[in-house]
Structure 1
């Protein structure tokens, strides 16, 4: 196979063709492409602990350990097409588990460790997963989910030495499914997005052209792999490209982030605007070694770009994508296609994608986007049809935007009600459904409003009509916030709860969330 690093840097069309030939082939094998083809001694990941201790995982170790785990899982009945949920933090066992599943042709269902029982149950039941692999610290969250077999990674790892490594593997082909990841959604339950193996071609394009990831880089994508950006580009992309990546096992803090950057000499960093805002808030004494800094997950504040140049030593460039697309619009870093940033712009299409504006929405021209891979939601043909124009040519993002005469794209607003908080996309209906299960709540509406501290971008706020006889006070507001945090998810609970006499609705009874987003509240 051709080493793409030897090709002409500006020959983007040939590179796209090469990636497609590799990842879209009918005989494509995920375990080979993500692990076994790389030199055994090459480091795949360096796991950074809270004390800044680094632990390396080589491709050879990943291959051997994942083969043993694959044997164990196959003995438990896991086979091609089976959905297996994984609830783990950023630890070696997570990567080993994913490779083991893909050796068997099984489908990974990612779960975020900040999820509580409710959010986990929705995804497990929605995917039809009958097996979940987790760690001891997360075990209590999955108790009570009917028909679910649960394995703890600590016990599995202790027994792997006595298991014979799996020799054979399943080649699922480019259209074969690797992942079933769930959107945040704005109506009903989150929707399953099938991610095929050929998505790796788009991941390679993003790492090369938008991030300008090079062999000598110390690369750290700080996003959580329980969500699309972290899964696609902190895990899958580096594995496909054979590039070492850092994974921090500590919870995010600005201070720890700076310590990691300095201790490991990070040169290529990617994260949400929230992370950059937190760095700005604590201050960054001295210069870092950053060569590239990229932002994704929510619109980038123009003043953060200036902060990057003046304090981090490098401008921060904005990148845009979705769970259904991966990254598609970027202020690219690679010298062959980089341009001077246009203030407020997300940049231009990623090589392999063509985009336009359709009915005011940012849209992907699927007929002229060889790297586009989304085909529809699992088990929801109606919603799948709604995301495309009637002729099937354009995928509609539901994000409103514009394009200038030079081809730069600008984000205007969302045409749906998804909340962008700290880089996470949160569906308001999901949170409303949790609130409505509390006996004190008669009606509830959830919206995103500006974070008063200027760190999270937006924050989740709830407007609640209480049940008859219930006293609306601060104690109840705190109880409702805890109810969402403890039963659904730590990342999606309302930071403020407002009690109102009634919710604004249209004559037909539809909730007018935009009125609540603009409401003046104490």
Structure 2
């Protein structure tokens, strides 16, 4: 295990003193302490004729709008500890909503816009949320949920801000107080809630400085979706905490749009999922850029993409590793103090503030020696929580569930011990998809696995046992695919459906997905 320079340990302690203080005020830390004239985000929208427009959003605007929205939400009964869902793409109203909730000591629930109503409802019900803030394109997914009030971006949202007085005083919940509740997919049950406390901002700040090396004069762009951990932690919360601008592309991804943004804004520091880099590498015209830093997270990069980036982007793309439960904590760090040559296949070294190792064949975090570790357990899931920790009172190792090895302080990912599928950087639990497919009257039993895919990393395949007398047809396959799109999430449908007589199972009845993957 490698030792980090002493000055980084001192800096980690300073961040913990700020973000972990008993009187920590999230709204102050994220927005109020920054220069009000400084640009916090630049929102990029698609015009009807195909071009892109940009709107700068200052910290002062975010502070004023969030104070007023906080007053409006308080009048609807939102207070300290209450959870509120936010179902939006990358737009300013999402940031204002997060900050308004922070001012009230309430909890922000990110909802991915590709989710269908059942996945959204499960998260809202799991958090006992009575309110959701959304955008016009998503209203149809939430407007009929019983007991859930809906606020829509546009005239209603703007009217609440215009007609409300600024909240005079924010609620300081302290470093251990909740800020976000983010649900993560599992393999054997419903997605689990991950409570994110205010002190987690210390870890996010550290990754910004050590992993991404976002400098004051960088033009930074995290292209990940804020409905998931990497986009929320390092596309919204990290930029706010550190006072660094991020670009918010509120439009569909394409290599052409990516090229226009890199050129027009002079992006120097890019963070994105491997799928983005793979897509760009398949476009011969995407070349000639000069980035200072490029980072990837979600799954290991393939050597061909790493080699392509050196000429096309002007710098190599560095792999980083983390989880929803912690953020990033093993990196091929970009910061000059920690930067070392990249070894192919390696995720790099533990980030300052974390001590990592291999325990029982898994990549693990030494909880007692990792001051930046903030995860203490899943929401209302004590058994799942206990399975992640060793030692009394969670004082031993946190087990990631990912198999790996360590060589001279460097870590290498070898395989996931669970069956989570990572597609285009999104983690998908097979159980979620299987739970939808099994509702079809023609399906008696079903299993879902991941299949390697050159562009997306993995895609889903389903193996279905059909009812007597039912034939597996192309029409039935399309019907099952649509069922997943409408019953769970648009991105998570199985690209291929196989018809089988039975599923391989253990004597206790557990599906042996590894055998299906071997087929």
Alpha-carbon contact 2:287-2:311 (below 8 Å) kept: no
Are residues 1:29 and 2:32 paired?
no
For residues 91-490 of structure 1, the aligned pairs below 5 Å read 91-154=91-154, 155-391=156-392, 392=394, 393-404=396-407, 406-451=408-453, 454-490=454-490
Which residue pairs with 1:3 in the alignment? Answer: none
For the residue of structure 2 that corresponds to 1:299, the secondary structure is coil
Deviations 1:187-235 (A, max 9, x none): 1110000000000000010000010100000000000000000000000
For the residue of structure 2 that corresponds to 1:346, the secondary structure is strand
Alpha-carbon contact 1:459-1:494 (below 8 Å) kept: yes
State which drifts further: 464-473 or 56-65: 464-473
Deviations 1:4-61 (A, max 9, x none): xxxxx97201110110010000000000000000000000000112222210110000
For the residue of structure 1 that corresponds to 2:282, the secondary structure is helix
Residues 1:105 and 1:470: Cα distance change in structure 2 (over 3 Å): same
Could you list the runs of 5+ residues in structure 2 that have no partner in the other structure?
none
Q: Distance in 2 between matches of 1:176 and 1:482?
A: 40
Deviations 1:432-491 (A, max 9, x none): 00101111111110000111xx10011011001112222211110011011101221012
For the residue of structure 1 that corresponds to 2:347, the secondary structure is coil
Alpha-carbon contact 2:72-2:160 (below 8 Å) kept: no
Deviations 1:252-273 (A, max 9, x none): 2222112111111110000111
Alpha-carbon contact 1:200-1:236 (below 8 Å) kept: yes
State which drifts further: 63-72 or 389-398: 389-398
State which drifts further: 282-291 or 309-318: 282-291
Q: Distance in 1 between matches of 2:115 and 2:362?
A: 31
Q: Distance in 1 between matches of 2:490 and 2:105?
A: 32
Which residue pairs with 1:20 in the alignment? Answer: 16
Q: Distance in 1 between matches of 2:198 and 2:385?
A: 20
Q: Distance in 2 between matches of 1:60 and 1:72?
A: 19
Q: Distance in 2 between matches of 1:128 and 1:38?
A: 33
Residue 150 (structure 1) shift: 1.2
State which drifts further: 462-471 or 475-484: 462-471
Alpha-carbon contact 2:463-2:498 (below 8 Å) kept: yes
Q: Distance in 1 between matches of 2:287 and 2:253?
A: 21
Alpha-carbon contact 2:290-2:315 (below 8 Å) kept: no
For the residue of structure 1 that corresponds to 2:133, the secondary structure is strand
Alpha-carbon contact 2:45-2:52 (below 8 Å) kept: yes
Alpha-carbon contact 1:52-1:263 (below 8 Å) kept: no
Deviations 1:343-399 (A, max 9, x none): 110000011000000000000001000000000000011110100013321100000
Alpha-carbon contact 2:280-2:286 (below 8 Å) kept: no
Alpha-carbon contact 1:10-1:336 (below 8 Å) kept: no
CA RMSD of superposed structures (Å): 1.1
Q: Distance in 2 between matches of 1:264 and 1:297?
A: 25
Matched positions, count: 508
Q: Distance in 1 between matches of 2:319 and 2:286?
A: 24
For residues 48-63 of structure 1, the aligned pairs below 5 Å read 48-50=44-46, 51-63=51-63
Residue 95 (structure 1) shift: 0.5
Q: Distance in 2 between matches of 1:301 and 1:128?
A: 42
Residue 149 (structure 1) shift: 1.2
For the residue of structure 2 that corresponds to 1:309, the secondary structure is helix
Which residue pairs with 1:4 in the alignment? Answer: none
Q: Distance in 1 between matches of 2:508 and 2:379?
A: 30
Residue 144 (structure 1) shift: 3.2
Alpha-carbon contact 2:78-2:106 (below 8 Å) kept: yes
Q: Distance in 2 between matches of 1:518 and 1:44?
A: 48
Which residue pairs with 2:510 in the alignment? Answer: 510
Q: Distance in 2 between matches of 1:284 and 1:311?
A: 9
Could you list the runs of 5+ residues in structure 1 that have no partner in the other structure?
1-8
